[in-house]
C-alpha cells in the first residue's frame, strides 16, 4: 500500500512520515513548496511540487496542509482516482463543495480531528444537544491551540458545534455566536457559542459546556500529543484503500454504528 503525504514538512506531516513507516506501508512521497525545509525527512522519500505529481505514485494521499490547497487537491485526486484522507481545517463553503465533488469520483475520509476520543465527543455532543432543551441549556464550545494555528474556531470546535446543532434539529449557521466582543447584547436563546484561545504549543483542547440556571455539564477532550492525529489518519488511509467513491467520516473508520 503506497501512501503519499501532502504537507510533508508540516507539524503533522512529519509525524505522518513516522506513522506510515510504523504501519508497514510504503511512504510513496510527499508534497512541499519549500524543499529546503525537507531536512530530517527520509532521503529516499520523493518530494513533489504539486498533488498531481504525488498522486501518480500513490494509492492514498493523506493531506494536512492549508485550506487554500483544497480545491486544486480535490481536482487532482479526482482526476487521478486516488483516495484522499483530508485533515485540513478552516475550509470555506466553496472548498467544502470541492471536497464533496471529489467524493463523487474517489473515496474521501474527511475529519476535522482524527483522534478516536474527539470522534466520541462529537457523538456525545449530538446526544446532549438532543436531550438538553436549548431554552434551558446554553451550549458553549471553548478550544485552545498552539500559537501557530491559523484558523479559528478550530475545525473540531465547529464539528462539535455542528453535532450539537444536529441534535437540536437546527443549522449551525443559524445559531452560531463566535468571538464575542464589545456591546454584544444578551446571549440569544438557542445560540451555540465559540471561544478560541491561542498560546504556547498546546496540541488541541476542546470543552463543550451545557449550562442551565441550576447545573453545568462539560465534555472535555485533551490531545496530549499531536501524534494522535497522525495515527488516526494512517488508520483511515489503511481503511479507505479500495473503498467505493464517497465521503466517509472517522465514525466510519472506527466502525461506529449509526446513531
Ligand X SMILES: NC(=O)C1=CN([C@@H]2O[C@H](COP(=O)(O)OP(=O)(O)OC[C@H]3O[C@@H](n4cnc5c(N)ncnc54)[C@H](OP(=O)(O)O)[C@@H]3O)[C@@H](O)[C@H]2O)C=CC1
Binding site for ligand LZUJQKHR (CB under 6 A): 89, 112-113, 145, 149, 154-156, 204
Cα separation, 103 vs 78, whole angstroms: 8
- From the list 246, 203, 253, the residue with the least C-alpha distance to 106 is 246
Which listed option, ligand X, ligand LZUJQKHR, none, makes contact with residue 122 (CB within 5 to 8 Å by class)?
none
Annotated binding-site residue? 9: yes
Residue closer to ligand X (CB basis): 13 or 134: 13
Q: Verify whether residue 206 is a known catalytic residue.
A: no
Which listed option, ligand LZUJQKHR, ligand X, none, makes contact with residue 145 (CB within 5 to 8 Å by class)?
ligand LZUJQKHR
Which residues 43-82 are close enough to bind ligand X by CB under 6 A? 64-66, 68-69
Provide the CA 178 distance to its chain's centre, in angstroms.
Answer: 19
Provide, rounded to whole angstroms, the least separation between the CB of residue 34 and ligand X: 4
Which of 4, 9, 85, 108 binds ligand X (CB under 6 A)? It is 9
Q: What values do phi and psi take at 35, rounded to 5? A: -60, -20
Annotated binding-site residue? 87: yes
Q: Verify whether residue 183 is a known catalytic residue.
A: no
Provide, rounded to whole angstroms, the least separation between the CB of residue 208 and ligand X: 17
Return the C-alpha cell found at 148.
501557530
Catalytic residue (choose from 66, 80, 101, 149): 149
- From the list 188, 198, 201, the residue with the least C-alpha distance to 140 is 188
Annotated binding-site residue? 156: yes
Please report, as ranges, the residues that interact with ligand X according to CB under 6 A: 7, 9-13, 32-34, 37, 64-66, 68-69, 87-90, 111-114, 151, 155, 226, 229
| Residues of each annotated binding site for (S)-2,3,4,5-tetrahydrodipicolinate | 146, 155-156
Amino acid at each position: 500500500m503506497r501512501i503519499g503525504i501532502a504537507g510533508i514538512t508540516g507539524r503533522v506531516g512529519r509525524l505522518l512520515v513516522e506513522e506510515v513507516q510504523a504501519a508497514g506501508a510504503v511512504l510513496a512521497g510527499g508534497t512541499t513548496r519549500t524543499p529546503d525545509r525537507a531536512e530530517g525527512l527520509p532521503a529516499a522519500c520523493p518530494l513533489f511540487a504539486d498533488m498531481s505529481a504525488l498522486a501518480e505514485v500513490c494509492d492514498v494521499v493523506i493531506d494536512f496542509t492549508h485550506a487554500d490547497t483544497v480545491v486544486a487537491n480535490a481536482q487532482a485526486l479526482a482526476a487521478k482516482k486516488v483516495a484522499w484522507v483530508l485533515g485540513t481545517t478552516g475550509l470555506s463553503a466553496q472548498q467544502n463543495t470541492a471536497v464533496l465533488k471529489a467524493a463523487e469520483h474517489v473515496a474521501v475520509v474527511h475529519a476535522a480531528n482524527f483522534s478516536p476520543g474527539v470522534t466520541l465527543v462529537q457523538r456525545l455532543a449530538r446526544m446532549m444537544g438532543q436531550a438538553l432543551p436549548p431554552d434551558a441549556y446554553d451550549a458553549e464550545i471553548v478550544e485552545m491551540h498552539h500559537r501557530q494555528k491559523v484558523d479559528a474556531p478550530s475545525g473540531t470546535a465547529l464539528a462539535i458545534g455542528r453535532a450539537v446543532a444536529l441534535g437540536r434539529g437546527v443549522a449551525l449557521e443559524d445559531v452560531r455566536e463566535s468571538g464575542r466582543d464589545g456591546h454584544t447584547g444578551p446571549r440569544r436563546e438557542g445560540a451555540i457559542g465559540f471561544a478560541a484561545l491561542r498560546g504556547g504549543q498546546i496540541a488541541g483542547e476542546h470543552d463543550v459546556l451545557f449550562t442551565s440556571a441550576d447545573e453545568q455539564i462539560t465534555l472535555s477532550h485533551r490531545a496530549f500529543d499531536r501524534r494522535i492525529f497522525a495515527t488516526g489518519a494512517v488508520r483511515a488511509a489503511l481503511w479507505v484503500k479500495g473503498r467505493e467513491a464517497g465521503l466517509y467520516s472517522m465514525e466510519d473508520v472506527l466502525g461506529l454504528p449509526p446513531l
